[in-house]
Amino acid sequence: MRRRSPRRLLGVLAAVTVAFTLFSSATTAGAADTATSASPGTSTAAVQPLSTSTPVVFVHGYTGNASNWVTGMSVFQLNGWSSSSLFAYEYNSYGNNVTNAQGLATFVNNVKARTGASKVAIVNHSMGGLVSQYYLKVLGGNTSVSHLASIAGANHGTTFASACLVYVTCQQMYPGSSFISQITSGDETPGDTKYATWYSACDGVIIPYTSTRLTGATNNNVLCQTHIGFLADTVVLGQIARFVAS
């Protein structure tokens, strides 16, 4: 029998390693303000299939779109969701986040009507945090949302928005804006909705990076992940899938 060359054996080993990384996920996120110990993009445990009937609505960030959630939706499907239960809401990044939140309210109602579900879960990123928080708190959307997961959300604003203040959405995203005051005054996590956030000191766009944290939520400190890197982090996305299934 012909022996395989060392180079070919190494290639097979590398392929197996990549496959294991893509189809595995870290364990469920821990208590509030805990650090995620696994390195971003790696995994420590095999995916355990979950069963849930909760539709999930993904809300992108500034200048984003539905394509931001390709990896996120794949991870949710690996964890037991059907593609017909996963939805991406798109909005105008340069308009007004009040209008964007109103559009989210309509979108959620349409998802509920389409799926027959009484509530949905929302997973947001970056400025999507502002849109989601306004919907839940100011527009009373918390009664239609079972879980809210905020990934690097600009929930208390970011000074990075100073680079685009020509747009209303960026004015609203700047710390201390009247919009930020509306969604942060009093109870930041209203209703029976379960809230969780994921944030990192390596973010680079949410400044300060702790802006993502919400009082009353399970706040998960990821050791080091970039703002855009979160969207492809299968470890964090796997944790979020488990949070939504809780």
Task: Show which residues are catalytic.
Answer: 126, 203, 227
Side-chain half-sphere CA neighbours of 238 within 13 A: 24
106 Cβ contact list (under 8 Å, min separation 6): none
Amino acid at 20: F
- 157's torsion region: left (phi>0), alpha (psi -120 to 50) or beta? left
Q: In Å, what is the CA distance from 131 to each residue of 9, 51, 114, 170, 205?
A: 50, 28, 22, 12, 17
SS3 208: coil
